[in-house]
Copies of this chain bind each other. A is one copy, B any other.
Amino acid sequence: MIIFSGDFDKAMAALTLANGAAGNGMEVKIFFTFWGINLLRRKIIYSNQPLENLFKLMMPISPERIGLSKMNFLGIGPWLMKKLIRQKDGQTAMDLFQMAQERNVQFIACEASLKLLGIQPEELIEYHNLEIAGVDKFLENATQSQISLFI
């Protein structure tokens, strides 16, 4: 059980753990909250609230776009990092993100975060194992799971 809230590098860590666990037959759930929601975003549907739209516009969409928590250098860091990953035939955050879906890791989008940022379900990726739920759902899962990490 992983609760995730953000960066490229942390997404790598969270998804690597999730895929490893799923690969070992563990049931894995990732609870995407706050900035983490951006990984699940597919497109922008603008609302009539300028402030909401500003955030939607400024926030990165999909694992392709998110920045590094460190050494981001206005996006150069992540770009170099992806270049390095490709040199090593390693997996980018996007590869890991897709593998997680292949391994049927459950994605839970934090309801409060969606509401706050004004993101509609239609703006999220299409994935059969994507659920929208609140903090109670997280707590219910967390109390039942062996490992819970806030990444």
- Interface size class on chain A is 35 or more
Contacts of A10 in B (CB 8 A): 5
Determine whether A128 belongs to the interface, using a CB cutoff of 8 Å to chain B. Answer: no
In Å, the complex CA distance between A136 and B16 comes to 10
| A150 contact set on B, CB distance < 8 A | 13, 149-151
> Counting CB contacts under 8 A, is A3 at the interface?
yes
> Which of B51, B80, B90, B117 touches A54 (beta carbons < 8 Å)?
B80
The answer to whether A139 touches B70, judged by C-beta atoms less than 8 angstroms apart, is no
Most chain B beta carbons < 10 A, residue from A16, A70, A85: A70
Q: Out of B7, B84, B87, B143, name the residue touching A147 (CB < 8 Å).
A: B143
Q: Is the CB of A116 within 8 A of B84?
A: yes
Q: List 24 A-B contacts (CB under 8 A).
A: A7-B70, A9-B34, A9-B35, A12-B34, A13-B150, A16-B135, A17-B135, A17-B139, A20-B135, A24-B136, A35-B70, A49-B87, A51-B84, A51-B87, A58-B71, A84-B116, A90-B112, A90-B115, A90-B116, A139-B147, A143-B146, A148-B148, A149-B149, A149-B150
